[in-house]
Amino acid sequence: MPQTTHSRKSYEQFCPMATALDFVGDRWTILILRELLGGPARFQDLKDGLPGIATNLLSERLRRMESDAIVRRVDGNALYALTETGEGVRTAIEELGMWGARMARTVGPVTPPVHERSTRAIAMALQSILVRSPYLPAETETIELLIDGAPVEVVLGPKPAVTVRVASRPDARATASADDMATFLAGTRTGADTINHDAGDSGTTQLLIDLLGG
């Protein structure tokens, strides 16, 4: 059951949007969801991907999200993962991220960013781009993209998926730096200048680059 402590604020409105914000509108909650959309994570992984969040606040947010059945513990409680309910926010958060990217380009950020994008934030951004591509292949191909050495499994196919984990039997392996990925996602660098083929089928790497816009 959801927590009903006095510290929990609510809009107290008969409105689906207000209800959604009652559950995920607190500061940091959507960014925690962003991190977990990239796959299950340890507490320290989440802390590393959310520079600026206090340890006790992250613990409190995760406890509340568990109480709300948005997050669950897996792998002997070592990892946090989204429940089916938590996964239900994926499309909404991807759309919100795309809107934020447009705002950053047209209006500019509220304050200049000082923290680098986390690997999980990059993974979610790549997923947002891939699911919108009209050129996804009918047959599944898998590439392991190493972002500053961190493995990201990218599944290309009718239902693309980008997950922060070691890829299982990938067709290709490619590399990229987090800095280059950030400038690519900001629209100031091409995919071809960002992603470097490393091993396996170069056609799979090129397919990823093409699907990301070349």
Who's near 82: CB < 8 A, 6+ residues apart?
33, 36, 37, 70, 71, 72
Tell me what pLDDT residue 60 has. Answer: 97
Q: Which residues contact 65 (CB under 8 A, 6 or more apart)?
A: 29, 32, 71, 86
pTM given for the model = 0.85
Quote the tokens at residue 51.
Answer: 């520079």
Cβ atoms < 10 Å from Cβ of 120:
26
* Furthest C-alpha separation in the chain: 57
Of the candidate CATH numbers 3.40.50.1400, 3.30.420.40, 3.30.1050.10, 3.40.1710.10, the domain formed by 119-211 belongs to 3.30.1050.10
Q: What is the pLDDT of residue 6?
A: 46
Q: Quick one: pLDDT at residue 2?
A: 59
Q: What are the structural domain ranges in the chain?
A: 13-115, 119-211
How far apart CA 127 and CA 154 sit, in angstroms, is: 9
Q: Which helix (H) or strand (E) holds 87?
A: helix 84-87
pLDDT tens, position by position, for the chain (214 residues)? 555 544 678 999 999 999 999 999 999 999 999 999 999 999 999 999 999 999 999 999 999 999 999 999 999 999 999 999 999 999 999 999 889 888 888 898 888 888 888 999 999 999 999 999 999 999 999 999 999 999 999 999 999 999 999 998 999 999 999 999 999 988 889 999 999 999 999 999 999 999 999 8
pLDDT value, residue 7:
66
Rounded Cα–Cα distance for residues 41 and 106 (Å)? 33
Beta bridge pairs of residue 196: 175
Judge whether 13-115 and 119-211 match in fold.
no
**Does CATH place domain 13-115 in 1.10.10.10?**
yes
